[in-house]
Structure 1
Amino acid sequence: MLIQTGQVRREALGAMLTVYGQVVPDPEQVTGISAAHGGQVTRLWVGLGQQVTAGQPLLQLATDPTARLAFEQAKAQVAYARKKLAQVKGLFAEQLATRAELAKAEQQLVNARDALRAQRRLGADRATQTLRAPQDAIVTQLNVAPGDRIRAGVALLALGARHRLWVKLGIEPEDVDRLRPGMHVTLQPVFGSAPSFKARLSQVHAVINPATHLVDAIAPLSGQATRNLIPGMWMRGHIALARRTALTVPQTAVLHDARGAYLFVVEPDQHAHRIDVVTGLEARGRVAVSGHGVHAGQTVVTVGNYELRDGLSVRTATPPS
C-alpha cells in the first residue's frame, strides 16, 4: 500500500493559550476628585469617558454657606486674638499681667492664625471653587450633575491615567495552573486591523470573577503601548505557555477510534504497526505523543493511514521527512 511518512522527534514544544479580555484603567493610577468642603455644583465641563489634560477645569463648586461661616468665624477669631494680645502686652508692660498670661495670649493668636490658614486651604475663603485635572487622564466615573449639593470628602468623579492601562483577560479555571506572572502575552484588538504588541502578565488571580465566571489575569500597559487603546475595548491575547521536551509527530499521523488515539509506525520490514498513544501539546503542525513502543527516529504514517490495518505491508511515496 502506498503511503507518505514523517518522523518521531524529541523536541521542545510550547503551547499557546488564546484568551479574551477588556482594556480597563489601571486602578493603581485612578485619582478620586472630591471637595474639601460642602457646596453645590454650579458648572460641569466634562462627561463620562472624556479625555482631559492636566490643569483642565472639571467642575465649579459654590461654597456651602456653613463653610463660608466657618471661614468668617476663623477670621474674626484672629482679629480677637490679635486685639487680646495687644491688651495683655500693655498690661504686662505695666506689670499688671504675668508672663504666663502673655504666653497664653501669644499662643491663642498662633492657634487662630493656623485655623484661618486651614480654612483657606480648604477653599472656604472663596465663594466658588474650580476643580481641575491633576494629570492627563480619562474620566472613568462621574457621580454628580449641575445643581447637586455635595458633602465634604464625597467622591465627585474619578480620573484614570491615560497612559497607564490594564488588559484584564479571562482565563478558564482549568487553565489557571498553567499560568504564572511574568509570562509573555501577545495582544491585539478583537475588532479592526491594529498590529499586535507584546506584554507580560503581572497578576493571575485565585478567585473566579462572578461577572464573567472566569479567572482574571492582568497585563499592565504603559507609555506608547496605550496609544491606540480605549478603556472598554475588547482584546485577544495569546499566552505562550512553558515549553516542554517531548516526543512529537506530525498531527496527520494521529488517528482516533473507540480505543482512543493511535498511529502507525513503519517497521524495518516495511510493515505498518499500530501503537496506541496519549496526545499532549500541539504547535506548528506537530503534536506531543507518549505510548509504549514510541521512540525518537521512528517513521510514522502521515498519509494513507486511514486505510491501514495492523501488519499491512506498505511502501512510501516519498522519502521519510
Structure 2
Amino acid sequence: MTGLGMRGRWLGACARSWCLALGVATATPMAGAAGPAVIVAESRMQAVVEELRVSGTVTAPRAARLSPAVAGKVAALRVDVGSRVAEGAVLVELDAELARIELEVAQAGVSQASEALADARRRETDGRRLASSRSIAASAYEALQSEVRADTALLRQREAERRAAQARLERHVLRAPFDGVISAKLTELGEWIAPGDEALALVAERGLWVDLQVPQAYFPRLAPGMPVQLRLDALPGTAVEGRIERIVPVSDATARSFLLRVGVAGDDLPMTPGMSASAVLRLDAGRERVVVARDALLRHADGRVTVWAVEADGADARVVERVVQPGLGFDGMVEIVDGLAPGVRVVVEGNESLRQGQAVSVAGAR
C-alpha cells in the first residue's frame, strides 16, 4: 500500500471519530441546566370582597319646569338653551302694561287715603282741644274720632291694594329659582302663555348625584356613607370617588331593583346631568378564603381551571399542576373555594407553556 493510501485511511478514521464525538456531545444535555424563568406569588388567607358592578345616570339635585304665575304675552326672553343663570335672574318678561296701570291706580289710592287720614287727624286734634274747653259737644268729638278710625282703615286697605298690584306686576317676570343651566326653551317672543304652560326647563349643575339601580338582594348589605367607585362612560379611564347618600327603599317590581343615590365629591368634575355611569360597590362577603393573584389562573377548553404550584427551591424547583375551584374576584385577586392551601407559591408570570414536573427558575416574587 502506498503512503498516500495509508494517509487517506488515517484521515477518514479521524473524521469518523470527530463526528461520533460531536454527536455524543450534542445528544447529552448539560448537567444542571436551568428551566424557564417564572415569577411567583404566594397564596394567602384573606377576607373576601364582593364587587358588585351596576350602571346608572348622572342626575341633578334640582330640576324644574318653569311656568309663569299669570297669563300674558311674552315680551322679553332673556335666556336660551345652555344659558347659565344665577338664582333670581330674570328669564322671561310678560307684557305688564295693564298691571303697571293698576299699580299706579293703587298708589294714587294710597296717596288719597293718606291725605284724608292726615286731615281727619288734624280735625280730631282740634276737636279734642275744643272738647276739653266744652266748646263742642262730646258727640261731635266722637264723630271726629270715628273719622280717624275709618280713614286709618281705608289707608290700610289702599296699601294692601297697592301691595297686591305690586305683586301682580312682579308675577309678570319669571325668575330663576336656583343656580343652574337652561336645558330647554319651550316658548318664544310674542307667544301667549298661562299658568301651567311650561316656558323653560332649568337644571342645577352643582351637587350632582349618580342614581344607580341595584338588585334587591343587596338591599340589606348597603348603608349610607359606604364608598363607591364611579366611572363615567363619557370620560373613559377617569375614576370618581363617591359615597352612598340615600337608599330609596322602594323596589321596582318589574326590574326587582331599588334606587341608590351616590353623592360625588367636588363640583369641578367634567360631568353633567344625563351622562351614563358605571359603579363598583365593594361588599364584605362575610368570609375568609384562600386567594391568589388572578394571573395565576389558567382556564382550559374542557372547563378546568388550574394553577402551577412551585415545589422545592433553587435548582430543584419543579412545577405541579393543581386543579382549583375559583370564586369571587376582587382587587386583582381570586378567591379559591377548593384545591389550594394557603402558603403555596404559584406561578403568575411565565405559566403559559409549562409542563407537569418541569424544572423552573424562580426569577422573582410579587
User: Where does residue 171 of structure 1 map in the other structure?
Assistant: 214
Asked if the contact 1:88/1:97 (under 8 Å) is kept, the reply is: no
5 Å matches for 1:8-47? 8-27=43-62, 30=63, 33-47=66-80
Corresponding residue for 1:61? 94
Question: Match for 1:195: what amino acid?
Answer: T
Distance, in Å, in 1 between the alignment partners of 2:343 and 2:153 is 93
Work out the number of aligned pairs and report it. Answer: 305
2:328 pairs, out of 260, 270, 281, with 281
Q: Secondary structure at the match of 1:225?
A: coil
Measured after TM superposition, the shift of residue 38 of structure 1 is: 3.3
Counterpart residue number, 1:245: 288
Which one of the candidate residues 245, 256, 259 is aligned to 1:216? 259
For the structure 1 residues 195 and 255, does the alpha-carbon distance in structure 2 shift closer, same or farther, using more than 3 Å as the test?
closer
Which ranges in structure 2 are unaligned for 5 or more consecutive residues? Answer: 1-34, 128-139, 313-317
Q: Does residue 153 of structure 2 align to residue 110 of structure 1?
A: no
Partner in structure 2 of residue 203 of structure 1: 246
Q: After superposition, what is the alpha-carbon deviation per residue over 1:102-142, rounded to whole angstroms, capped at 9, x for unaligned?
A: 22321321232133134224426xxx955454664112454
- The reply on whether 1:181 has 2:224 as its aligned counterpart is yes
1:179 is displaced (CA, Å) by 3.4
2: distance between equivalents of 1:96 and 1:181?
Answer: 71
Q: From the superposition, tell whether residues 85 and 284 of structure 1 become closer, same or farther in structure 2 (CA, over 3 Å).
A: closer
- Residue 263 of structure 1: how far off its partner (Å): 8.4
Q: What is the identity, as a one-letter code, of the residue corresponding to 2:278?
A: R
* Larger mean Cα displacement after TM superposition, 143-152 or 231-240: 143-152
Taking the aligned partners of 2:244 and 2:237, their CA distance within structure 1 comes to 21
Superposition deviation, residue 31 in structure 1: 5.8
Q: Is the 8 A contact 1:253 1:300 kept in 2?
A: no
CA positional deviation for 1:19? 2.7
SS at match of 1:117: helix
In the alignment, which residue of structure 1 is the partner of 2:3? none
Could you tell me whether the CA contact under 8 Å between 1:26 and 1:220 is conserved in 2?
Answer: no
- Give the direction of change, closer, same or farther, for the CA distance of 1:89–1:225 in structure 2 (3 Å limit): closer
Instruction: Give unmatched runs, 5+ long, in structure 1.
Output: 309-313
SS for the counterpart of 1:147 is coil
Letter in 1 for 2:60: P
Would you say 1:81 and 2:113 are equivalent positions? yes
Give the drift of 1:41: 1.6
The residue aligned with 1:311 is none
CA–CA distance in structure 2, aligned partners of residues 261 and 193 of structure 1: 31
User: Per-residue displacement from partner, 1:211-243 (whole Å, max 9, x unpaired)?
Assistant: 9875332222364433x2222222233333337
The aligned residue for residue 149 of structure 1 is 192
Are the aligned partners of 2:322 and 2:340 in contact in 1 as well (CA < 8 Å)?
Answer: no
Aligned-residue offset at 1:189: 2.6
State the shift of 1:43 in Å.
2.9
In 2, the alpha carbon distance for the partners of 1:236 and 1:159 equals 25
CA distance in 2, matches of 1:56, 1:203: 31
Instruction: Quote the sequence identity (%).
Output: 25
Q: Contact 2:47 / 2:288 at 8 angstroms: preserved in 1? A: yes
**Alignment partner for residue 51 of structure 1, among 75, 84, 92?**
84
| Matched ranges for 1:305-316 at <5 A | none
Report if the CA contact (8 A) 1:280-1:287 is conserved: yes
Paired position in structure 1 for 2:5: none
Aligned CA RMSD, in angstroms, stands at: 4.7
Closer, same or farther: CA 37–183 of 1 in aligned 2, 3 Å: same
> Higher helix proportion, which one?
2
